[in-house]
Amino acid sequence: MWRAILDGTDPVYARNRGRLKHLPGSPRCKMCAAPFGGPAGVLMRWRGRAPWPNNPDYCRSCFQLLDRYHGGAEIDSSFLFADIRGSTTLAEGMSPTAFRTLLDRFYDIAARVLVAQDGIVDKFVGDEVVGIFIPALAHDEHPARAIAAARALLDATGHSDSDGPWLPIGVGVATGTAFVGSVGETHTAAMTALGDIVNVTARLASAAAPGEILVNELAAQRAGLETGALEMRRLELKGKAQATTVYVVHAGAGSPASMPRE
C-alpha cells in the first residue's frame, strides 16, 4: 500500500490530493494538502480532515492512515533544504519577538512554495525548511519541481530584487533513493524521509551561499538543466568518501510566475 501511494500508482490518493491542493487556506495537511484555515477549512473539518490533535501537521483522515498502516518504502525522490544564512547575526540585531515574526513569514512562504510545486513540507527546524518531492505527487518531474520550488523561494525572499533579499537563504536540492514513510510511535508518527541522500541535501544547503541553489548531478540531469551553462563545483562533504559534483543555480529564469512575492 505504501509503495502504491508513494510512487503514484494509487489513483484515489493522487486524485484527492490533486483536488485539495487547489482549495484556498493555510496551513495545510502535510500529506493530502487539505487546508485547515479559511472557509475551505470549515468544509474540511466537516469532512473529517480537521487537524489531528496529537499531531496538527496532519488531518485526522491522513493520520489515521499513518497509524493504521505504519511503514514506508524506498523510492526515488527529490529533496529541498533551505537555510537562512547568518541567522545568529540576524537574531542578535532584533528582539526575540521580531525574529520569530521573521521566521513565521519565512515558514509561511516556504510552505506555500512547496505545496504549489507538489512537494511535502517535511519539517521546519530552527532556521531551516525541509521539503520532499515524491513520484505520487510530482510524477517523474520531481527533480524539476524541487528546483522550481528552490528558485521560487529565492524569488519570494527577494534574491532577484535590485535592493537585495529581505532574508538571505541558501538552498540544496538533490535526487536519490530514500526511505519515505511513517516514522515514530503511534500518536507521534510523522511522514518523513531517511537515507544518505537526505543528509547530502542538508549539507548542500549548508554549503550554499545566499542566493545560491546547489543541485546534485542526478537532480540536474533528471530536471533537464543545461549544465554546460552552469557553474560546476566539486564539494568535499562531511562523511562522504568522494567529492560530490553540484551545479549552481540562481533565482530568476525558470521560477514559477504565480508564486507570491513578499
C-alpha cell at 229: 551553462
State the average pLDDT over residues 184-207: 83
Does the structure show a pLDDT above 90 at 71?
no
Q: Hey, which of 62-71, 156-165, 183-192 has the most confident mean pLDDT? A: 156-165
Pairing of strands 55-59, 51-52: antiparallel
Q: What is the pLDDT of residue 54?
A: 57
Name which of 172, 173, 117, 122 is nearest 145 in CA terms: 117
Query: Above pLDDT 70, what percent of the chain?
Result: 87
> Which residues make up the CATH 3.30.70.1230 domain(s) of the chain?
70-262
Select the more confidently predicted residue: 160 or 4.
Answer: 160
Q: What is the pLDDT of residue 124?
A: 86
Is the pTM here over 0.75, yes or no? Answer: yes
Beta bridge partners of residue 73, listed in sequence order: 180
Q: What is the pLDDT of residue 61?
A: 85
Q: Hey, which of 8-17, 56-65, 92-101 has the most confident mean pLDDT? A: 92-101
Q: Grid cell 499531531 — which residue?
A: 55
Does the structure show a pLDDT above 90 at 261?
no
Q: What is the pLDDT of residue 260?
A: 37
Does the structure show a pLDDT above 70 at 188?
no
CATH architecture of the domain formed by 70-262: 2-Layer Sandwich (3.30)
How many CB atoms neighbour CB 104 within 10 A?
11
Q: What is the pLDDT of residue 126?
A: 83
Distance CA 15, CA 41 (A): 19
